[in-house]
Structure formats: C-alpha cells, structure tokens
C-alpha cells in the first residue's frame, strides 16, 4: 500500500500532463499514438461528447456540408496589382483590410464564395473564418480548408462550435506532422457536433450572423474611406509596380535606380531612396490642400521600453495585451493577459483614439483604439500616435493606411535582419508628409473609419457572447 501511494505521489509530481484513454478511441483516430491526440483537454472533450449523446443529438460536421476540401499546390503566376485575381494567404484572410498578391490565372477550386467556413490547416492550425460578400471571386491559399455548408445548415451555430473551446480542442486533436502542424479535410468532416435545443441553435446562429454582417459593413466602410483619400483629395492612385527602374525590366527585378550623392542624406539603405517616394512627394506638393509633417498634428509619438511580461491566465486580474500581429486582424487571436499589478503598467496602456502602427517585422500596419481596446496594453513593437484635437483621428488612420502613408513609412525602415522604425528616436515617423484638407472633408473620411472600427469591435463582442453562450449551455447539459 505504501509503495503504491509512493508511485501515485511521483506520478502527480511529474512535470508533464498524463491521462488515460480508451483503446477504442485509438481505433477511431487512425491508430495514432502521438500524445497530442490524447491530451488532457482532448480526452475531457471526448468524454463530454459521450455523455452528451445521452441528452442531445450529436452529428458529424460533414453531415452539414456539401463539400470539405482544399485545392492542391500550384505555381503562382504573379502579376501587377489589379491586373489579375487577388490571392490571399492563410493569414491574410483574417485582415480587416485585404492584403495579398495578384495572380494572372487561377483555377475555380481556389476561388471562395460568401458564407463558406474557412479553417487554417497548416502552421497555425484551427483559426476559423466565415466568409462574407467581399470574398466572392477572391482566391485563397491551399493552406486553408474550405467547408461548403448545406443550403439549410446553421452556419453561424457551426462557426460558434468550431470557434469554441470544444471545437478548437477537437480540431487540434487531429494535428499531425513532425515539423509543420497540419490537419486534413477528413479530420474536420468527422468532428462530432453536439446539437443544443432548437431555440439555442437559433439564438446562437442569429448572434453570429449579426457579427458576420457587422464585419462586412466595417470592411466596406474602410474600403470607401480608402477610395475617398484619392477621389476627395485629388490624389492619383499609385503603385510601386508603375515605377520605372534603371535597366528596364531587368532593373525592375532588382529595383535598380540612380540617385545623386547630394540626395543621400547620410542614408545608404535602398528603402530610403526608392523612386516611388519621389513620386509621392511630387503628388502631395502639387495638391490643393496643405501639406505638413505628421509630427505637427500629433501630441506625441512614442513606444514603451522593453519590459518583463508577467502573464496571467485569469482575465479578471489582467489586461488584454496586443502584439504587433494583432493590429491588422479583423478579430484578435490568442490574446494573452498582463498582470494588472505589474510595475510600470501605465507605460503599456493604450487609450481611445490613439493610433497604433507596427514598427518591427512587418512595418506600417495601422489601427485605431476604440472602446474595445481602450485600457488594454500593447507591445513595444507597436508605435503609439496621440493625435491633436484639431485633426480627425479617423482621417489620420485613413491617410496613413493608404499607399501614400504606407510607402512613406516603409521608406523609413532600417535594420539588417529585422525591419524596424523608431526604436527610440521617433523623428523619422514625425517627418512623414500628411495632407490636411478642411475639417468637413476630414470628418467625411475619418468618421467612416471610426464607424468601421466600432462595428468591428461590436462584432467581436457579439461573437464572444455567442461562443460563451454555446459553451455555457453545453456544460449545463453535461
């Protein structure tokens, strides 16, 4: 007895998780022996599903789908922006403002349609998106699984399930791969979906579809604001592909150009002298509106110093902490929480109507803080702009997000391995040229941006409520 107790004590003290699984669960998982397929969370959810079968219907996800698939790999025939079909990577599908490359031709199996459910299948596995009308006719990477729902399928409810703790656990249970994590369509099709009472399904479905609609409206507002930067300010749309390089087409490959020694300004990095930046200066100076430096329309431009990050698991004793990767997303994933009693917490807090800009890695992505992020924190890899009261913060976001702002920011980049701007000296950012139209025009453009971010945040709140409702009702049935 004493020996068994000693063994039990040692098992409880080991620095890893362990659990007990049924042999028939191995039979239903392709005879897989990798530990992640039988994690504590996975076994717990499988046991919950078995109990739920006694109290409600449980169907397979494939039963709600016409087809679950992803297309094969292909060689991408890239072309100039706007001259082909927009093609999005598995990360770009989650951007609030679409970013991607254009390809000359694309087979139909790469094109997605509205109201499909997309799931990332490799690398970062299990992120879920419900496509809207803006996706119609756009190409999506083969690293994304497509679920084409049946005509009468409750797509909002299915989305809430897949986004929930239960759905995410069951997706990740099927991950395989020694170097890159992956899942396959047959894994997704065979995920069991517990069906709550009809009234709960309708309520959850309605909430998700409302959030879905708000996100689409937010994206349309931002597209409209971006277009107005050109039409209302009288600026021509520009593209780096239109720049003429030294040496013709061969020179374009390496971006070869000539610059005078007097124009170097003690900078020998290519990005600082790209010909497109001269075009931008020319168009801005020829505008009928005033031109000024960004530093003249902001109270402050700064980043916090590097610091040790004491994360907590309980949101009640922490604040949400944004990384640079969260800035362009339509909804945040994998948010961590900083301990709200940490030293110098005030230095990382972000406030309403502050503008956030990614300043390392992928430089120049812009967002604005509204009520949803107000009082949260952000990494030192995110630059903060505090606009003056005499400029519309939404307009400033629209201008900086346009090619006129984005290319100027990228022209300030330095770094041999990781691109960066404004480590401590923010003077480079302050030098960015901004057009200042009349207040009426600023508000016309800027209020669209503010409304868009408010709709995005409202959508995220509604979705979180719907997923929580699903999880709470499911646990009550267990």
Per the domain annotation, does 85 fall within a domain? Answer: yes
Tell me whether residue 122 is in a domain. Answer: yes
Answer yes or no: is 124 within a domain. yes
246 and 342 inside one domain: yes
Same domain (yes/no): 165, 254: no
Cα gap 451→249, rounded to integer Å: 43
One domain for residues 435 and 397: yes
Q: Please work out, in degrees rounded to the nearest 5, the angle formed at the alpha carbon of residue 172 by the alpha carbons of 44 and 40.
A: 25
Q: Nearest-5° angle of CA 210, CA 217, CA 441?
A: 145
Position 323 in a domain: yes
Q: Are residues 273 and 382 in the same domain?
A: yes
Secondary structure of residue 293 in the 3-state scheme: strand
42 and 147 inside one domain: no
* Whether 127 and 183 share a structural domain: yes
Q: To the nearest 10°, the Cα dihedral for 417, 320, 157, 94?
A: -20
Say if CB 375 and CB 437 are below 8 A apart: no
89 falls within a domain: yes
pLDDT for residue 7 = 40
Q: Are residues 25 and 80 in the same domain?
A: no
Domain of 274, CATH number, reads 3.90.220.20
C-alpha–C-alpha distance, residues 149 and 140, integer Å: 17
Pairing of strands 139-140, 117-120: unpaired
Q: Is residue 5 part of a domain?
A: no
Task: Quote the number of domains for the chain.
Answer: 3
| Measured distance CA(405)–CA(368) in Å, rounded | 15
**Residues 259 and 148 grouped into a single domain:** no
Residue ranges for the chain with pLDDT beneath 70: 1-18, 24-36, 178-179, 242, 416-417, 423-424, 478
Measured distance CA(176)–CA(173) in Å, rounded? 9
Tell me, what DSSP letter sits at residue 408? Answer: H
Beta bridge partners of residue 312, listed in sequence order = 337
Instruction: Assign 255 to helix, strand or coil.
Output: coil
Does residue 62 share a domain with residue 24?
no
* 151 and 229 share one domain: no
363 and 426 together in one domain: yes
Residue 73 lies in a domain: yes
* 217 domain-assigned: no
Residues 160 and 38 in one domain: no
Provide the 10 A C-beta neighbour count for residue 291: 13
Phi, psi of 228 (to 5 degrees): -70, -25
Range of the domain at 151: 58-195
The DSSP annotation for 423-450 comes to SS--HHHHT-EEEE--HHHHHHHHHHHH
């Amino acid at each position: 007895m004493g020996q068994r107790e000693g063994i039990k004590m040692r098992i409880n003290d080991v620095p890893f998780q362990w659990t007990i699984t049924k042999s028939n669960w191995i039979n239903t998982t392709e005879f897989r022996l990798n530990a992640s397929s039988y994690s504590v969370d996975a076994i717990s959810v499988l046991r919950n599903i078995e109990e739920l079968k006694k109290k409600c219907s449980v169907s397979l996800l494939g039963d709600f789908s016409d087809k679950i698939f992803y297309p094969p790999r292909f060689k991408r025939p890239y072309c100039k922006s706007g001259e082909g079909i927009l093609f999005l990577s598995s990360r770009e599908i989650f951007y609030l403002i679409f970013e991607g490359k254009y390809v000359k031709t694309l087979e139909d199996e790469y094109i997605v349609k509205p109201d499909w459910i997309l799931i990332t299948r490799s690398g970062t596995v299990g992120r879920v998106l419900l496509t809207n009308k803006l996706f119609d006719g756009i190409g999506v990477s083969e690293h994304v699984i497509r679920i084409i729902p049946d005509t009468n399928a409750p797509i909002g409810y299915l989305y809430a399930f897949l986004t929930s703790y239960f759905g995410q656990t069951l997706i990740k249970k099927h991950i395989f791969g020694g170097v890159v994590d992956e899942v396959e369509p047959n894994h997704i099709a065979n995920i069991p979906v517990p069906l709550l009472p009809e009234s709960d399904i309708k309520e959850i479905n309605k909430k998700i579809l409302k959030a879905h609609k708000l996100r689409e409206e937010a994206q349309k507002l931002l597209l409209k604001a971006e277009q107005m930067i050109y039409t209302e300010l009288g600026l021509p749309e520009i593209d780096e592909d239109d720049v003429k390089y030294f040496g013709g087409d061969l020179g374009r490959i390496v971006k070869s150009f000539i610059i005078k020694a007097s124009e170097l300004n003690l900078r020998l990095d290519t990005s600082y002298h790209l010909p497109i930046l001269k075009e931008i200066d020319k168009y801005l100076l020829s505008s009928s509106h005033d031109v000024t430096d960004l530093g003249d329309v902001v109270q402050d431009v700064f980043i916090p110093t590097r610091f040790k990050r004491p994360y907590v698991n309980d949101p009640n004793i922490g604040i949400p902490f944004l990384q640079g990767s969260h800035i362009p997303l339509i909804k945040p994933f994998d948010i961590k929480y900083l301990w709200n009693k940490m030293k110098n917490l005030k230095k990382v807090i972000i406030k309403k109507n502050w503008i956030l800009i990614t300043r390392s890695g992928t430089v120049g992505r812009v967002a604005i803080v509204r009520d949803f992020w107000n009082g949260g924190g952000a990494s030192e890899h995110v630059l903060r702009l505090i606009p003056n009261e005499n400029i519309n913060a939404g307009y400033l976001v629209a201008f900086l997000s346009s090619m006129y702002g984005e290319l100027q920011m990228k022209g300030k980049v330095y770094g041999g391995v990781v691109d960066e701007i404004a480590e401590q000296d923010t003077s480079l950012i302050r030098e960015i040229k901004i057009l200042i139209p009349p207040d009426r025009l600023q508000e016309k453009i800027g209020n669209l941006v503010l409304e868009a971010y408010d709709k995005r945040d409202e959508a995220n709140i509604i979705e979180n409520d719907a997923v929580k409702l699903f999880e709470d009702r499911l646990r009550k049935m267990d």
